[in-house]
A and B are shown apart, each in its own frame.
Chain A
Amino acid sequence: MIRRKGGFVVQKLVNKASERKAAYIFIFPAVVLLAAFLIYPSLQTIRYAFTDYNIMRPDRIVFCGLNNFIELFRDKDFWIAVKNTLYFTVLVVPFQTVLALALALLISSRRKGVSIFRAAYFSPQVTSMVVVAILWTVMYNSSPDSGLLNALLVNLGLEPCGFLNDPDTAMNSIIFMSAWQGAGYQMMIFLAGLQGISPEQYEAASIDGAGKIASFFYVTLPGLKNVIQYVVMITVIQAMKLFTQPYVMTKGGPQNSTRTLVYYIYEQGFQKRNFGYACAVAAIFFVIVISLSLGMKKIIKAD
């Protein structure tokens, strides 16, 4: 259809208005649901942070100002949890992301049987955390008579490792296990991203004389930019939220080495019924992680 220049401009303006209307309709359901079921409870949590709410006595909620926060800053367990969580995040994110990307590249081929490998790499996600925990606890067993990994180490002539029972190695053991379990999740996202890079770009690159490695850096990585941004962002957030592994496998020990912030929140709130205090920890947690993610967003935007 041929349009005169003037007519075309009018067309665009009309589109802008209906675009805005459409935008509001498009975001409406999500915004309403988020407000009702995410923002509202979160605000409640923050509100409780200023009270001495003990779960057993919902009728005796007393406003206590900044008491919880003051206690928090003096609480060495809290700071240890912060340290553990940051340590975990800083190590697991690059490890798991690189692993996931490697897996995705390993199987982004048209060869036969690729889907079987895809399922295999995704299978840790499908295997219940219960089984994963039992098995890895068994694998990590500190006695060479009962633990697969230690039996292997001893066979190779090395010292057995305490793994989950040694405060120096417990967190690292969890990091390794988490990366193994989580890689499948990100791998799927990378795969979807790789699909989005058109083969013509690779053809163009090889015509220009680029080998496999060069085309990885000049075609694949740039093509995945948005995806990588997303994956790193959500992996950081999910890493900061680590809860299940400490909950199922170590209960925060040994010697506080695997106590993460969210586990600490759960422990204080549900087990020790210090709900007000737990909400205060949660509030500080929000602040830390939000600053982290928004900070990351700025850095990536500047890219």
Chain B
Amino acid sequence: MSKRVVAVLLAAVMVSGAFTGCGKTKERVNEEGESVITVWSPSDEPAIEEWWLRKIEEFNRLYEGEIELRREAIVRADSYAYEDKVNAAITSDDLPDILYVDGPNVSIYAANEVTIPLDDYFSKEEWDDFFDSSKQQNTYDGNIYAVGATESSVALYYNKDLLDEAGIDIPESKEDAWTWSEYYEAAKKLTKDGVVGTNIIMDKGEGLSYVLEQFWISNGTDFVNEEGSSAKGYLNSAEGIEAAKFLNSLIQDGYANIDPIQKEFHNGRAATMLGGSWEVATLEKDYPDLNWGVTYFPVADKDSILTSPTGDWAASVTKNVQDMDAVKEVMRFLFSEENVTTYAQAISKPPTRVSSYDVLTEYNEYPRSIFKEQLMETGHPRPRTPSYSVLTAEFAEAMLDIFTGVDPEEALNAAAEAVDKDYNKYYAND
């Protein structure tokens, strides 16, 4: 009787005991004495997964006896899931050597000394080959903390048939990019018969900051100051409030949906859309019947400062790294001219190296040429501040509150205050 129970319990304990001790922290030297370099990057499409397998094999062959490169794929649902995982690894001091992070988060890790500067990984000439927008995104407090292989951009997609029907002209060059007034008028004309003039809400999370910051920049201000230490006087400046009011007018007057259904533009329910460079592939593949075009990101009425969103994932080196020489070799390999080109090709995103465009000639043709032009000439990355996660969450909340009726000045003031509070609490005394 009790014997049987004890036996069952013992068995259960033994069974669970068998599972212990299976986890290991990062191995830094393997049995053959090679330095092990571990990379964490998001799980991605098959083309990219294959790229990794090929490149890792290639690298390990080249550096046999010296370095072994390993990769662990992390699930990235939306960016937050990946960040949660990295946060957990930080608390247990168990980071990989190379960590891929989403563009605007580079500064957060840099400011918190989770990652280290890599200015000396490339020579000055080599750095010159990389886009300014990419380098800017990855720079904090004067040093570069990450390298990216791909970029992204956002432009104004339009439905040719609907625009022709309404008699609206499309800008031919970026100097003719629509001003806000022109954008508003067009959206107004196009809103009819169950179709809405435009779509400005890419998603209700990071998409809001990513796309809409440019309205602040075009109007002569930004979200935060250059050091990234304060949002007051920027996010909630007069120009900023003006930008928010403009965006809100599109929603309140019914020319843009506060709740756009997925693929609104693709299904012809919105006449224009502020969409990412990646939409080109989708439209070409899944929506062949749609007659669409792309043009430049709209600019403010006043000074018409040309600007467009940029930003993509980049690789940084963490403080847990031990073999500095090995990790430098890996980074130089992963971001060589050839590998940036092949990676960008595999993932169908614009590369960050100027030299890659000699190979990937599709970017010389419309519509991809618009994105290339914007990247090279008008692109602005998101703010570099250690309080970015607070900033983007507060901004998204403020905009959604404004769209549902809160006074823009009030909402932006609250958001700016929250950002400053976070910065002052953790970073002001460094």
A residues neighboring B (CB under 8 Å): 21-22, 25, 28-29, 52, 54-58, 137-138, 141-143, 145-147, 162, 164-167, 251-255, 267, 270-274
Contact assessment for B87 and A254 in the assembled complex, using a CB-CB cutoff below 8 Å? no
Contact assessment for B93 and A58 in the assembled complex, using a CB-CB cutoff below 8 Å? yes
Q: Out of B112, B194, B406, name the residue touching A56 (CB < 8 Å).
A: B112
Known: A271-B390, A272-B389, A273-B389. 7 other contacts (CB 8 A): A22-B2, A56-B87, A137-B259, A165-B259, A166-B404, A254-B403, A267-B393
Interchain Cβ contacts under 8 Å between A and B, 7 examples: A25-B9, A56-B109, A146-B259, A165-B259, A253-B401, A254-B400, A255-B401
Query: In the assembled complex, which residues on chain B have CB atoms less than 8 Å from the CB atom of A164?
Result: 259
Q: Out of A25, A55, A165, A274, name the residue touching B404 (CB < 8 Å).
A: A165
Considering the complex, give the chain A residue whose CB is closest to the CB of B195. A145
Contact assessment for B6 and A25 in the assembled complex, using a CB-CB cutoff below 8 Å? yes
Q: Out of A142, A252, A271, A274, name the residue touching B259 (CB < 8 Å).
A: A142
Contact assessment for B393 and A29 in the assembled complex, using a CB-CB cutoff below 8 Å? no
Cα-based distance from A28 to B91 in the complex (angstroms):
32
B261 contacts the other chain (CB 8 A): yes
Cα-based distance from A70 to B259 in the complex (angstroms):
38
Contact assessment for A141 and B261 in the assembled complex, using a CB-CB cutoff below 8 Å? yes
Give the A-B pair count, Cβ closer than 8 A.
Answer: 88
Cα-based distance from A273 to B426 in the complex (angstroms):
10
Question: A25-B5, A57-B112 given as contacts; is B404 within 8 A of A252 (CB)?
Answer: no
Cα-based distance from A255 to B399 in the complex (angstroms):
10
Contact assessment for B404 and A254 in the assembled complex, using a CB-CB cutoff below 8 Å? yes
Cα-based distance from A143 to B256 in the complex (angstroms):
11
Contact assessment for A251 and B389 in the assembled complex, using a CB-CB cutoff below 8 Å? no
Query: In the assembled complex, which residues on chain A have CB atoms less than 8 Å from the CB atom of B87?
Result: 55-56, 270, 273
B90 contacts the other chain (CB 8 A): yes
Contact assessment for B404 and A167 in the assembled complex, using a CB-CB cutoff below 8 Å? yes
Contact assessment for B406 and A143 in the assembled complex, using a CB-CB cutoff below 8 Å? no
Query: In the assembled complex, which residues on chain A have CB atoms less than 8 Å from the CB atom of B108?
Result: 56
Question: A25-B5, A253-B401 given as contacts; is B269 within 8 A of A270 (CB)?
Answer: no
* 1/0 contact string of B387-415 vs chain A (CB within 8 Å): 00110010011001101111000000000
Query: In the assembled complex, which residues on chain B have CB atoms less than 8 Å from the CB atom of A251?
Result: 204-205, 396-397, 400
Query: In the assembled complex, which residues on chain B have CB atoms less than 8 Å from the CB atom of A162?
Result: 404
Cα-based distance from A172 to B98 in the complex (angstroms):
46
* 1/0 contact string of B86-98 vs chain A (CB within 8 Å): 0100111100000
Contact assessment for B90 and A56 in the assembled complex, using a CB-CB cutoff below 8 Å? yes
Contact assessment for A253 and B397 in the assembled complex, using a CB-CB cutoff below 8 Å? yes
Question: A56-B108, A272-B393 given as contacts; is B93 within 8 A of A255 (CB)?
Answer: no
The number of chain B residues with a CB under 8 A from chain A is 41
Give the Cβ gap from A189 to chain B, nearest Cβ, in Å: 26
Contact assessment for A55 and B258 in the assembled complex, using a CB-CB cutoff below 8 Å? no
Question: A55-B90, A272-B422 given as contacts; is B259 within 8 A of A143 (CB)?
Answer: yes
B84 contacts the other chain (CB 8 A): yes
Query: In the assembled complex, which residues on chain A have CB atoms less than 8 Å from the CB atom of B269?
Result: 145-146
Contact assessment for B91 and A29 in the assembled complex, using a CB-CB cutoff below 8 Å? no
Give the Cβ gap from B411 to chain A, nearest Cβ, in Å: 9
Considering the complex, give the chain B residue whose CB is closest to the CB of A55. B87
Query: In the assembled complex, which residues on chain B have CB atoms less than 8 Å from the CB atom of A253?
Result: 397, 400-401, 404
Question: A29-B9, A58-B90, A272-B389 given as contacts; is B2 within 8 A of A254 (CB)?
Answer: no
B80 contacts the other chain (CB 8 A): yes
Give the Cβ gap from A145 to chain B, nearest Cβ, in Å: 5
Contact assessment for A58 and B389 in the assembled complex, using a CB-CB cutoff below 8 Å? no
Query: In the assembled complex, which residues on chain B have CB atoms less than 8 Å from the CB atom of A56?
Result: 87, 90, 108-109, 112, 114
Give the Cβ gap from B330 to chain A, nearest Cβ, in Å: 24
Query: In the assembled complex, which residues on chain B have CB atoms less than 8 Å from the CB atom of A166?
Result: 404
Contact assessment for A145 and B194 in the assembled complex, using a CB-CB cutoff below 8 Å? yes
Question: A145-B269, A146-B259 given as contacts; is B397 within 8 A of A252 (CB)?
Answer: yes
* 1/0 contact string of B1-25 vs chain A (CB within 8 Å): 0100110010011000000000000
B257 contacts the other chain (CB 8 A): yes
Considering the complex, give the chain A residue whose CB is closest to the CB of B387. A272
Cα-based distance from A52 to B426 in the complex (angstroms):
9
Q: Which 7 A-B pairs have the closest CB atoms?
A: A56-B112, A254-B404, A58-B91, A146-B261, A55-B87, A253-B400, A255-B401
Cα-based distance from A54 to B425 in the complex (angstroms):
10
Give the Cβ gap from B134 to chain A, nearest Cβ, in Å: 23
Cα-based distance from A221 to B393 in the complex (angstroms):
48
Cα-based distance from A149 to B45 in the complex (angstroms):
36
Contact assessment for A143 and B2 in the assembled complex, using a CB-CB cutoff below 8 Å? no
Give the Cβ gap from B292 to chain A, nearest Cβ, in Å: 20
Contact assessment for B91 and A255 in the assembled complex, using a CB-CB cutoff below 8 Å? no
Give the Cβ gap from B273 to chain A, nearest Cβ, in Å: 15
Contact assessment for A270 and B84 in the assembled complex, using a CB-CB cutoff below 8 Å? yes
Query: In the assembled complex, which residues on chain B have CB atoms less than 8 Å from the CB atom of A22?
Result: 2
Considering the complex, give the chain A residue whose CB is closest to the CB of B88. A55
Give the Cβ gap from B394 to chain A, nearest Cβ, in Å: 9
Give the Cβ gap from B78 to chain A, nearest Cβ, in Å: 10
Considering the complex, give the chain A residue whose CB is closest to the CB of B422. A272
Query: In the assembled complex, which residues on chain A have CB atoms less than 8 Å from the CB atom of B400?
Result: 251, 253-254
Contact assessment for B259 and A141 in the assembled complex, using a CB-CB cutoff below 8 Å? yes
Cα-based distance from A273 to B80 in the complex (angstroms):
12
Give the Cβ gap from B391 to chain A, nearest Cβ, in Å: 10
Contact assessment for A55 and B2 in the assembled complex, using a CB-CB cutoff below 8 Å? no
Contact assessment for B406 and A25 in the assembled complex, using a CB-CB cutoff below 8 Å? no
Query: In the assembled complex, which residues on chain A have CB atoms less than 8 Å from the CB atom of B404?
Result: 162, 165-167, 253-255
Cα-based distance from A25 to B12 in the complex (angstroms):
14
Cα-based distance from A270 to B87 in the complex (angstroms):
8
Considering the complex, give the chain B residue whose CB is closest to the CB of A166. B404
Cα-based distance from A57 to B401 in the complex (angstroms):
32
Interface centre among B83, B400, B425 (most CB of A within 10 A): B400
Cα-based distance from A186 to B397 in the complex (angstroms):
34
Give the Cβ gap from B39 to chain A, nearest Cβ, in Å: 20
Considering the complex, give the chain B residue whose CB is closest to the CB of A273. B389
Give the Cβ gap from B5 to chain A, nearest Cβ, in Å: 6
Cα-based distance from A52 to B425 in the complex (angstroms):
9
Q: Out of B12, B112, B258, B390, name the residue touching A272 (CB < 8 Å).
A: B390
Give the Cβ gap from A51 to chain B, nearest Cβ, in Å: 13
Q: Which of B205-257 contact A (CB under 8 A)?
A: 205, 257
Contact assessment for B258 and A165 in the assembled complex, using a CB-CB cutoff below 8 Å? yes
Interface centre among A164, A166, A254 (most CB of B within 10 A): A254
Q: Out of B90, B393, B406, name the residue touching A255 (CB < 8 Å).
A: B406
Query: In the assembled complex, which residues on chain B have CB atoms less than 8 Å from the CB atom of A252?
Result: 397
Q: Which of B361-409 contact A (CB under 8 A)?
A: 389-390, 393, 396-397, 400-401, 403-406
